Amino acid sequence: MKPAVVLLVSTAWTLTSAQYYYQGLMDYLENRLLAIEDRMEMWHVQSHRYHTELQDFSKLTAETMDGIRKDHKVIHKDLEGAAARVEHVEREMDYVETQTSPRACVRKADKVLEQGAWSVEERREEEEEEEDWEKVHSVSDCVDIISSIKSVKILKRVGSPKGMWTKDPRSSKVYVFNGTAGDRVYQFTSVLDFSTSPGVSSSRQIRLPSVWSGPGSAVYNGYLYYINHEDDTDMQVVKFDLLGGSVTDITIFPVESHAPVYSLNPETVADLVADDEGLWLLYATSDSEPNINLAKMDSDTLDIEQMWDTSCPRENAEAAFIICGTVYVVYNTRLASRSRVQCVFDVNDVLVSEEAPLLYFPRRYGAHASLKYNPEEKQLYGWDDGYQIIYRLSMKRKLLI
């Protein structure tokens, strides 16, 4: 009887212990589930809050973007109006410049001659003085100077922002120098051929034996004249026969350094120019030299015939060209603006900057990388931010001293 009671008591205790254990486990699980539910509820509340804030932010962003779009339209309209006004002002300036007579170098005697008040003796004395002056000083026999820019033609846009294109005065062929250095020149049969071509790849490519440096080459009487210079080497002027395809002459130009001739185009270490009188070279003797220097060269032998200091500053110069022995230096600003001829140098001392016509180029795209004059056509071939432009010039005669 006793063992049965013990067994019953033991069994009851075991059942009671198991009940307490399972009850505790259930309580623990219930508490964990409640905690999870609380966290889920908190996450739901936070998610709802974040969603609401995101909606508010999205709405605010949409309103702000709406306002920006409206402001952009207003600003764009204002800019279009400003551009139209600027273009109108530039057209008026161009018109005024074409209507304004350029200032020419006129001595008192010339003014008297225009008024018809010359005496025979005074005229004879003046003629003798002119003859003596020409015997001593005359370098150029040509007497043309620019009166105005008659018209502008934007031909096309091809190639790099900087480059050069030119025409041989004695033929219809066009030569394109793409970029600021290379060993290839692109030849077209005419301006029309170049204007209708899809690019430079369709042209005849001329491979040079050395690299041309800077957009300062010249084509004259069937020959290409170009600058070749590399680091730690002398600057060379190379004469290349375009028909024969070979170098006919090379000369070393005596400069102390490879200082650029134009500060706004540092790639142009020297600029070869051909005009009615032959071949010229614009250059800088050193970095410390403030002015542009000029040399007259023999186009056959590349010998230097005469040299000048033009007194035209290199600072803010972008390009230059020569007409009848008169150098016209074109200036601009660091932030490209309206190009203008601001300094003129005449090798015969007939025309000076203060008395020369002040010319403005119509505002286009940027700044000229090069300007090449064709004496047969009285036109300038310009390269402006990758655009090829033709400037047709009106000419007048110099009034000789």
Band the pLDDT of 304: cuts 50, 70, 90. Answer: very high
Q: What pTM was computed for the model?
A: 0.67
Give 27: exposed, middle or buried? Use CB within 10 Å, 0-12, 13-18, 19+.
Answer: exposed
Band the pLDDT of 109: cuts 50, 70, 90. Answer: very low
Band the pLDDT of 129: cuts 50, 70, 90. Answer: very low
At 203 the pLDDT is: 84
Band the pLDDT of 113: cuts 50, 70, 90. Answer: very low
Q: Beta-carbon neighbour count of residue 114 at 10 Å? A: 11
User: Which strand (E) or helix (H) includes residue 280?
Assistant: strand 278-283
Please provide residue 346's backbone torsions phi and psi, each rounded to the nearest 5 degrees.
Answer: -110, 125
- 159 DSSP 8-state letter: S
At 259 the pLDDT is: 85
Mean pLDDT of 72-93: 76
Whether 135 shows a pLDDT value over 60: the answer reads: no
Minimum mean pLDDT range among 133-137, 204-208, 300-304, 315-319 = 133-137
At 101 the pLDDT is: 38
For the ranges 145-154, 251-260, 375-384, the one whose mean pLDDT is highest: 375-384
Band the pLDDT of 85: cuts 50, 70, 90. Answer: confident
At 358 the pLDDT is: 76
Tokens representing 166 are: 């030119």
Share of the chain above pLDDT 70, in %: 79
Whether 169 shows a pLDDT value over 80: the answer reads: yes
At 120 the pLDDT is: 44
Whether 54 shows a pLDDT value over 50: the answer reads: yes
At 112 the pLDDT is: 34
- In the chain, where the domains are located: 1-99, 109-397
Q: Could you write out the DSSP letters of every residue in 293-307? A: EEEEE-TTT--EEEE
Taking alpha carbons only, the member of 354, 364, 363 closest to residue 386 is: 364
Minimum mean pLDDT range among 98-112, 298-312, 349-363 = 98-112
Minimum mean pLDDT range among 33-47, 112-126, 156-170, 287-301 = 112-126
- The per-residue b/e assignment along 248-276, b for 16 or more CB within 10 angstroms, e otherwise, is ebebebebeebbbbbbbbeebbbbbbbbb
At 91 the pLDDT is: 60
Rounded alpha-carbon distances, angstroms, from residue 256 to 225, 228, 263? 21, 15, 17
The better pLDDT of the pair 84, 13 is held by 84
Whether 246 shows a pLDDT value over 50: the answer reads: yes
Minimum mean pLDDT range among 256-260, 265-269, 315-319 = 256-260
At 115 the pLDDT is: 39
User: Does the CA dihedral 256-262-266-269 come out positive or negative?
Assistant: negative
Minimum mean pLDDT range among 11-15, 31-35, 121-125, 353-357 = 121-125
Mean pLDDT of 94-99: 51
Mean pLDDT of 166-177: 92
At 310 the pLDDT is: 92
Tokens representing 264 are: 């706004």
| Contact predicate 145/104, CB 8 Å | yes
Q: How many whole angstroms separate alpha carbon 209 and alpha carbon 220?
A: 19
User: Which strand (E) or helix (H) includes residue 35?
Assistant: helix 2-99
At 13 the pLDDT is: 67
Name the CATH topology of 109-397. Answer: Lipocalin (2.40.128)
Share of the chain above pLDDT 90, in %: 41
Mean pLDDT of 210-228: 94
Band the pLDDT of 140: cuts 50, 70, 90. Answer: low
